[in-house]
């Protein structure tokens, strides 16, 4: 059974440069600040079972086929530590075939309160982790992306090619 895999493409940029101590290799100095945003979200079918970490999300959707539309709830946030900030972080919370379900999850995620909910919340019986919550983290925005499922991820049949290719926009 094919799994619908959704992942983000993010553009990041330098907002503020690092201090000269950081450039000289001093570990406890300001490393600067980056910003960024999600520029594209892609969905494709995948037959091979894989673990998903970071921004990606894989979900079995019965009857999903190339050309079908899915709705992904995408969170953009900033993280960091004492020595710098890293914007342009993203997380696909979930993907649905019904736009209303996606909108309801986006609304619930936006209403999430770290002080009462902690590092996650439950919506319609599903537990969600909130990587935008923490001492150095902050929520930038939550959006629902309308995406058309592509065919399987392209894998070269050439035995000399050792990686997978992804199709662009």
pLDDT in tens, 111-154: 998 888 889 999 999 999 999 998 999 999 999 999 999 876 55
In a domain? residue 77: yes
In a domain? residue 55: yes
In a domain? residue 129: yes
Instruction: Please report the pLDDT score of residue 80 as a whole number.
Output: 94
**Residue 88: domain span:** 3-152
Would you say 66 and 47 are in contact if contact means Cβ atoms under 8 Å apart?
no
Dist CA 113 CA 108 (whole Å) = 10
In a domain? residue 82: yes
| Mean pLDDT value across the chain | 86
In a domain? residue 147: yes
Instruction: Please report the pLDDT score of residue 120 as a whole number.
Output: 93
In a domain? residue 159: no
In a domain? residue 50: yes
Q: Burial of 102 by CB count in 10 Å (0-12 exposed, 13-18 middle, 19+ buried)?
A: buried
**Total count of domains within the chain:** 1
pTM: 0.83
Instruction: Please report the pLDDT score of residue 62 as a whole number.
Output: 87
Residues 11, 142, 55, 73, Cα dihedral to 10°: -130
In a domain? residue 167: no
Helix (H) or strand (E) holding 151: strand 138-152
Query: Which residue positions in the chain have pLDDT lower than 70?
Result: 1, 48-56, 152-169
Phi, psi of 50 (to 5 degrees): -140, 155
């Amino acid at each position: 059974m094919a799994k619908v895999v959704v992942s983000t493409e993010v553009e990041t940029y330098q907002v503020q440069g690092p201090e000269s101590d950081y450039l000289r290799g001093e570990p406890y100095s300001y490393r600067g600040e980056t910003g960024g945003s999600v520029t594209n979200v892609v969905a494709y079918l995948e037959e091979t079972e894989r673990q998903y970490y970071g921004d990606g999300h894989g979900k079995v959707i019965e009857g999903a086929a190339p050309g079908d539309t899915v709705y992904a709830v995408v969170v953009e946030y900033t993280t960091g530590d004492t020595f710098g900030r890293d914007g342009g972080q993203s997380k696909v919370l979930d993907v649905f075939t019904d736009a209303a379900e996606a909108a309801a999850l986006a609304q619930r995620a936006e209403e999430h309160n770290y002080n009462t909910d902690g590092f996650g919340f439950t919506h319609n019986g599903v537990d969600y982790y909130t990587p935008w919550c923490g001492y150095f983290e902050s929520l930038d925005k939550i959006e629902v992306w309308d995406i058309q499922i592509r065919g399987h991820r392209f894998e070269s049949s050439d035995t000399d090619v050792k990686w997978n290719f992804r199709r662009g926009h």
